[in-house]
Amino acid sequence: MSLKTFLRGVHPFDGKALAKDSPIRQVQMTGEMVFPLSQHIGAPATPTVKPGDHVLMGQQIAAPGGFVSAGICSSVSGTVRAIEPRTTIIGETRDSIVIENDGKYEAVPGLGEKRDPSSLTPAQIRDIIRDAGIVGLGGAGFPTHVKLTTKDDSKVKYVIVNGAECEPYLNSDYRLMLERPEELLGGLKVILSLFPNAEGVIGIEDNKPEAIRLLTEKTASEPRIHVEALKTKYPQGGERMLIHAITGQDINSSMLPFDAGCIVNNVATVIAVYMAVCCSTPLMTTVMTITGDAVKSPCNLEVPIGCSHKDVLEAAGGFSVQPEKLISGGPMMGTAMYTLDIPVQKTSSSILAFAEDPVADNPSSPCIHCGRCVQACPERLVPQMMQVAADNDNFEWFEKLGGMECIECGCCTIVCPAHRTLTQSFKYGKTSVNRLRREAQAKAAVEKSAK
């Protein structure tokens, strides 16, 4: 049987062997915990506590700031010290709730209580997911209850669990599939209960045969769930590539997975749904892979959200050599951090520490027009031409070339022999086009009201 996949893409060195076989270790933290109010897509959360308040573990400290927004629950018990701007992973400051952890981990009443999902209505399930602060944990951080709210639930044909984990070096989803398969399947069943006509598909890259075997075994007697082995290729876990591989349907930037009858969630998110709905436990921890050639002992840790990256690294055993580069997330789409003094967020899935920084070591040179970027782009774009357009602020041409379809996967950039910063230009191009569109809309609205 040929494995399902998509056209083009790349095979970067995967580096997974470093931490792949290290079981998830739970660690507790002490000291200050920081919860940025904006760690998801959408409106920032609104604090429900004030400085001086005593909070319990699992207690909501910020409520969703709108429909497309997510609340935040404290991962520790302690005292709210301040609500003030703090530096976040993206390198900018965001208003954050700062809690002094008392180290007692005193829980709110009812935390961890078992609950039977069949006794809940779909609306109740969605509310629980919203109140638990669950967002897409694969990186984007889109509020999960919004994703699970569709125009027509009967039109959803596939509930896809993204177990591709195609980013090099990351292992957290892999470890979760191996160590918490029951929670994963439980969460998937909860989501399936919202969509009566959907089948559940767990897509896993074939470089994780143990996970494929285990979950295939566990789903053998599940009528609505099956496992799909996918070819190992980056960006197999990209939402559009995954939908293409599993359903054969293609969606573009102006469509939602729902348009192809799909709902896609990653492994950690589905487990978070299970914990919230079936175990009354909101999103309070995240599993992170701490790895890279500058890390002494690469491992997978489950840490409370809000703790500092510095503490996570210490818990992992520290650096073996002084790194040049730190990345939160994968090397393809993750964010470089200039310091470790940054709080862990819901979407944090790793700390990568590299002794050398290939970006700094390979400055970009003139494009030699070799076409490698074209051969790599999973969106079938022409990155070389798009960069010329974006760099010259020719946004009209950038759009014509399909620039808005770019998923910023980075394939073109890592194959370019001239080491051009293509993806960077496309982020700029896309932001600029979006800004121009907004301005045009605003102008049109003003003109309309003037008439």
Partner 1 sequence: MNEMYNVSVSPHLRSETGTNSIMRDVAIALLPPCLFGIYNFGYKALLLIVVSVLAAIVTEFVYEKLVKRPVTVGDFSAVVTGMILAVNLPATLPLWMAALGSVFAILVVKQLFGGLGQNFMNPALAGRCFLLISFGSQMTAFPAVDGISAATPLTAMKAGESVDLLQMFIGNYSGCIGETSVLAILLGAGYLLLKKVISIRIPGIYILSTMVFIVVLNLVTGNGMPTGGYLLAHLFGGGLLIGAFFMATDYVTSPITPMGQVIYALLIGFLTALFRVVGKSAEGVSYAIIISNMAVPLIEKATVPTPFGRKKGKGGAKA
Reported as half-sphere exposure (CB side, CA atoms, 13 A), residue 8 has a value of 19
Q: Quote the CA–CA distance of 310 and 315 in Å, as a whole number.
A: 9
Is 162 within 8 Å of 264 (Cβ atoms)?
A: yes
Q: Which pair of tokens denotes residue 403?
A: 């620039």
Site for ligand SF4 in 342-381 (CB under 6 A): 367-373, 376-377, 379, 381
Tokens of 120: 């809940």
448 near partner 1 (CB under 8 A) = no
User: Site for partner 1 (CB under 8 A): which residue of 369, 446, 447, 450?
Assistant: 369
Stretch that binds ligand SF4, among 158-166, 183-191, 341-349, 407-415 (CB under 6 A): 407-415
Q: CA–CA separation, 154 vs 263, rounded Å? A: 12
User: Does 383 interact with ligand SF4 (rule: CB under 6 A)?
Assistant: yes
Please choose, out of 140-148, 189-197, 311-319, 409-417, the segment that lies near ligand SF4 by the rule CB under 6 A.
409-417
User: How many other β-carbons are positioned within 10 Å of the β-carbon of residue 13?
Assistant: 8
Buried b (16+ CB within 10 A) or exposed e, 381-405: bbbbbbbbbbeeeebebbbebbbbb
Site string for partner 1, 298-327 (x = CB under 8 A): ------------x-----------xxxxxx
When asked if residue 336 is in the footprint of ligand SF4 (CB under 6 A), the reply is no
Complex with partner 1: residue 69 or 387, whichever CB lies closer? 387
- End-to-end C-alpha distance for the chain, whole angstroms: 64
User: Which residues have CB under 8 Å from 245's CB, separation 6+?
Assistant: 4, 5, 6, 203, 228, 230, 231, 236
**Cα–Cα dist 159/217, whole Å:** 19
Is 412 a binding residue for ligand SF4 by CB under 6 A? The answer is yes
* Among ligand SF4, partner 1, none, residue 437 binds (CB under 5-8 Å by kind): partner 1
Shortest approach of partner 1 to residue 437 CB, angstroms?
A: 7
Site residues (CB under 8 A) for partner 1, limited to 221-280: 240, 244, 250-255
Q: What's 176's DSSP letter?
A: H
The answer to the question of residue 21 lying near ligand SF4 (CB under 6 A) is no
Kindly state the smallest distance separating residue 425's Cβ from ligand SF4, in Å.
9
Q: How many residues bind to partner 1 according to rule CB under 8 A? A: 77
Among residues 279 and 374, whose Cβ is nearest to partner 1?
Answer: 374
Bond preceding residue 235 cis, omega within 30 of 0: yes
Q: Considering only the stretches 98-106, 167-175, 350-358, 406-414, report the one whose residues sit in contact with ligand SF4 under the rule CB under 6 A.
A: 406-414
Q: How far, in Å, CA of 343 to CA of 337, rounded? A: 11
State both tokens at 66.
């709108």
Instruction: Tell me: does residue 241 bind ligand SF4 (CB under 6 A).
Output: no
Binding mask 334-363 for partner 1 (x = CB under 8 A): xxxxxxxx------------x--xxxxxx-
- For residue 348, give both structure tokens: 């944090």
* CB nearer ligand SF4, residue 45 or residue 241: 241
> By the criterion CB under 6 A, which residues form the site for ligand SF4?
367-373, 376-377, 379, 381, 383-384, 406-412, 416-418, 420, 422-423, 426
